[in-house]
């Protein structure tokens, strides 16, 4: 729910016990919830014998039973056909709402091989029903372990087939996997959030304090004054931001091996070349020289030793890069507009430094920027390919874009964004030059 900035209309597929509807109704942005459940008897049994699961009596402004809330509508139909009929290419029935902001698939998990997850017509209708920033989420079963075979083998093969369908769908902008231990199973289970727009990443990777602030604004209060959300807060969301390593391991067992799997860690056969560390009295591999060009003093970096192609350039410096979100940048720019603060010049100088030495993340939608602060800031930039001799550690993906699903890009994005290597052999005394577009 928090992956969307303002979820008003929500659909639930399955969820007959009412717990999913209960959690959705806690959001004060929600105007309607449509639950499509094929089994009316299940809902009636849950009402009578599992009433605690649909109990909204403690939430201010809600009906005692979540099923009876004015914002909730229950439809007893097969959800697959319902979406086709209302939002498919050959839809014959009126739309329940113009579009859904969030859809929760609380039915089978893909590992069980449900036809729902093989039906491309249903998937098209599902995407068509979503708003521009729409997201859908579902339980995808047991978590991976590092001992699992390649993902298209064994019990997880149906899940991999479903992932392949999502990855190839033109409306998929991002896929994020996380694990949750508080879901009623004996071990953590995995969940998938799929975004129709990459802007969901900026909310997914938000700082814990920002999530806590949104919880305060969005979640309804309780009559008992107890927290409405039992397990979730900003720190919980932070734990979801990095897909567990086992997913990366299994992903890299795909055939053919994905391009980025060659960059799971720094190449231990390559050397590191650093600036001198005066505090540690360590001799460096570079020196900074000042030269005057057109009356302007310009500092440049020169190698003092031979540097082989593929070597890491100033890794300690670039690893110390400052991370700034677009929201922080906007806040600083807004501060400049406030007169009589006495700090305008300082802020403006800092923003000028950011413009000169910062660059946005290659992962669209995260709204993160990396600002180098060490010796690497003196490396001259050029458009001349004959001059350039260093570049990003991770080359551009052969497809020309980052895959919508890749636990490697999710887990190692900062390393991919900041580490630089020698793109050819650099001789001692040669200037180090990087490309303007980074």
Residues with active-site annotation:
106
> Could you give the CA distance from residue 348 to residue 343 in angstroms, rounded to a whole number?
9
Tokens, residue 325: 């979100």
Asked if 294 and 383 count as a contact pair (C-beta separation under 8 A), the reply is no
Q: How far is CA 297 from CA 29, 58, 291, 358, in A?
A: 56, 68, 6, 21
Separation CA 364–CA 140 (nearest Å) = 25
Q: How long is the chain?
A: 438
| Residue 280: CA count within 13 A, CB half-sphere | 7
Which token pair is 102?
A: 């969030």
- Residue 308 has φ and ψ, to the nearest 5°, of -70, 155
Task: Write the CA distances from 84 to 32, 123, 163, 309, integer angstroms.
Answer: 20, 9, 21, 55
Query: What does the alpha-carbon distance between residue 348 and residue 151 come to, in Å, rounded to a whole number?
Result: 50
């Amino acid at each position: 729910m928090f992956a969307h900035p303002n979820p008003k209309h929500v659909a639930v597929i399955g969820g007959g016990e009412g717990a999913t509807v209960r959690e959705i109704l806690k959001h004060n942005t929600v105007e309607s919830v449509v639950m499509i459940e094929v089994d009316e008897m299940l809902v009636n049994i849950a009402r009578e014998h599992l009433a605690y699961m649909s109990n909204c009596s403690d939430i201010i402004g809600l009906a005692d039973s979540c099923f009876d809330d004015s914002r909730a509508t229950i439809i007893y139909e097969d959800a697959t056909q319902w979406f086709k009929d209302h939002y498919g290419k050959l839809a014959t029935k009126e739309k329940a709402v113009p579009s859904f902001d969030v859809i929760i698939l609380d039915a089978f998990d893909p590992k069980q091989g449900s036809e729902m997850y093989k039906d491309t017509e249903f998937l098209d209708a599902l995407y068509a029903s979503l708003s521009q920033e729409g997201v859908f989420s579902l339980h995808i079963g047991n978590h991976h372990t590092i001992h699992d075979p390649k993902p298209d083998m064994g019990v997880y093969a149906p899940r991999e087939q479903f992932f392949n369908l999502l990855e190839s769908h033109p409306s998929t902008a991002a896929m994020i996997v996380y694990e949750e231990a508080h879901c009623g199973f004996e071990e953590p289970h995995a969940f998938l959030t799929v975004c129709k727009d990459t802007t969901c990443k900026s909310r997914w990777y938000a700082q814990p304090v920002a999530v806590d602030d949104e919880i305060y604004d969005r979640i309804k209060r309780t009559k008992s004054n107890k927290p409405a959300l039992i397990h979730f807060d900003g720190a919980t969301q932070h734990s979801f931001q990095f897909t567990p390593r086992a997913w990366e391991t299994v992903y890299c067992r795909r055939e053919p091996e994905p391009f980025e799997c060659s960059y799971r860690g720094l190449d231990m056969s390559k050397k590191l070349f650093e600036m001198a560390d005066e505090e540690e009295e360590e001799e460096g591999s570079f020196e900074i020289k000042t030269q005057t060009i057109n009356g302007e003093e310009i500092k440049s970096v020169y190698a003092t030793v031979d540097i082989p192609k593929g070597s890491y350039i100033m890794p300690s410096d670039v690893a110390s890069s400052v991370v700034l979100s677009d929201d922080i940048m906007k806040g600083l720019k807004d501060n400049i507009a406030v007169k009589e603060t006495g700090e305008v010049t300082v802020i403006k100088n800092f923003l000028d430094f950011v413009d000169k030495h910062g660059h946005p993340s290659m992962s669209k939608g995260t709204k993160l920027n990396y600002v180098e602060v060490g010796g690497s800031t003196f490396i001259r930039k050029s458009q001349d390919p004959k001059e350039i001799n260093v570049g990003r550690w991770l080359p551009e993906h052969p497809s020309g874009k980052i895959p919508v699903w890749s636990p490697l890009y999710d887990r190692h994005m900062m390393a991919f964004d900041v580490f630089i290597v020698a793109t050819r052999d650099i001789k001692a005394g040669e200037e180090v030059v990087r490309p303007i577009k980074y």
